[in-house]
Amino acid sequence: MILKQTVAALGVAAMLSACASSFKDPGSIGQHARGAQPRFDPSVPPMQCVPYARKKSGVKIFGDAYTWWGKAASLYETDDEPQKGSVMVIKGYQNEERAHVAVVRKILGDREITVDHANWGNDLKTQLDTPVMDVSRSNDWSRVRVWHMDSQRYGGRVYEVSGFIGPDARSSRGLLW
């Protein structure tokens, strides 16, 4: 009896693992797509991600990064797909009141972009052309991995993405806000 239950349990486990294995997490790949040249930018003075993203993108939202997505809805076009110049908002960076914003530099493919951003490593440094890979099961940019400069591979942590802001402002009778 125990042998039959064990065999049945192994059969169910095999079927479930076959379903799960149909999705291969591209974030486990050590290489990024061609066209990215991740590097630090020593010409930019030390700064946080918010002032850097505001300056680089032209998106005029103020306040902590975790407030950007909520504020953007009435001011800027928002989307769940990246476009060049848009601001990616990563939510829950370390806790619910921490987020990160980065500016999309290039679209490398359906599941890979590069971003320019500051203070990603809590070091106030600016990184250019940093690869970011969509690792969501449905290819909807809701979950990403970010290139880790020191190890020269994608980081092990998966981050939740609120979406992408701008770069175009909404207008109401020709006036912003």
User: Could you tell me the CA-to-CA distances from 106 to 121, 156, 173 in Å, in that order?
Assistant: 21, 22, 32
pLDDT in tens, 15-62: 333 333 333 444 445 566 678 899 999 999 999 999 999 999 999 999
How far apart are alpha carbons 149 and 53 in whole angstroms?
19
**How distant is the alpha carbon of residue 158 from its chain centre?**
9
Q: Which amino acid is at 147?
A: W
Residue 97 pLDDT > 60: yes
**Residue 30 contacts residue 154 (beta carbons within 8 Å):** yes
pLDDT in tens, 106-137: 999 999 999 999 999 899 999 999 999 999 99
Q: Which amino acid is at 149?
A: M
pLDDT at 129: 97
Q: What domains does the chain contain, in order, with CATH numbers?
A: 35-169 (3.90.1720.10)
User: Could you tell me the CA-to-CA distances from 50 to 71, 101, 145, 151 in Å, in that order?
Assistant: 14, 6, 20, 25
Percentage of the chain with pLDDT > 70?
Answer: 75
- Of 23, 25, 22, the C-alpha closest to 133 is 25
pLDDT at 19: 33
